[in-house]
Amino acid sequence: MVKFVKNGEPLKMSKRAGNFITAREVIDEVGADVLRFIMLTRKNDAPFDFDLNKVIEQSKDNPIFYVQYAHTRCCSVLRNLKNEHQDFYHKIFDEKNQIKPIANFNFLNNLTDENELALIKKLASFMRSIEMAVANFEPHRFAFYLQELSAEFHGLWNKGIENQNLKFILKDNFETSFARIYLILALKKIIAQCLDIFNIKALEEMR
């Protein structure tokens, strides 16, 4: 059962009176991707209050925005690498924009912050999340995973604002920068794959 709320007021519906909101009307109001993702954040037998204002907010309280924002931040780091740090970019990527292998490189030796490790652990649980969602016919588990994954990344991002040593690109430290860029690539790929499962396009930029 879905109850719609707008401007803090419930929208009254009645099947008997023929007064109801169609999926098309909701899509016209908030967009198909938003509707699809928000509806998949709840079990199919759980009641749900769908706040039409909340789902278009650009805040962490809006699940689809929070996830898409994580993906666009990944894209922002990669654009910055290519535009502002071309020496590092060409060391990391080949002429086809494919990441170059580095022999005997230990990523974990360069990713030691607790937030980096928490993000790695969450990425590592990707397949388990899929298995549990499929086995229990509960796609909302996957939506929760995406939100938790995005929260780990945003936490790391914010920590990098406060601590310059935790920025993704360090001019005087190629190995750590390489490890963090690789982490960004893994995160970007998994977010995009998760959204693709929901038939939602991962955004590269947000207005």
Q: What would the pLDDT profile of 89-109 be if each residue is shown by its tens digit?
A: 998 898 888 888 777 788 888
Q: Residue 19 has what pLDDT?
A: 62
Place of tokens 């970007």: 188
pLDDT of 3 > 90? The answer is no
Whole-structure pTM value:
0.87
Angle at 66 between CA 60 and CA 67, to 5 degrees: 155
pLDDT given at position 16: 62
Residue 45 has pLDDT above 80, yes or no: no
SS3 (DSSP) at 46: coil
SS3 167: coil
Cβ(42)–Cβ(48) below 8 Å = yes
pLDDT in tens, 94-150: 888 888 877 778 888 899 999 999 999 999 999 999 999 899 888 889 899 999 999
pLDDT in the model for residue 153: 97
Q: Which residues, including other chains, have CB under 8 Å from residue 149's CB and lie 6 or more apart?
A: 70, 119, 122, 123, 187, 190, 191, 194
Residue 57 DSSP one-character state = S
- pLDDT score of 160: 93
* Per-residue pLDDT at 14 exceeds 70: no
pLDDT mean over 76-88: 93
Question: From its phi and psi, is residue 31 left (phi > 0), alpha (psi between -120 and 50) or beta?
Answer: left
Task: Give the C-alpha separation, 77 to 98, whole Å.
Answer: 16
Q: How far is it, in rounded angstroms, from Cα 59 to Cα 51?
A: 14
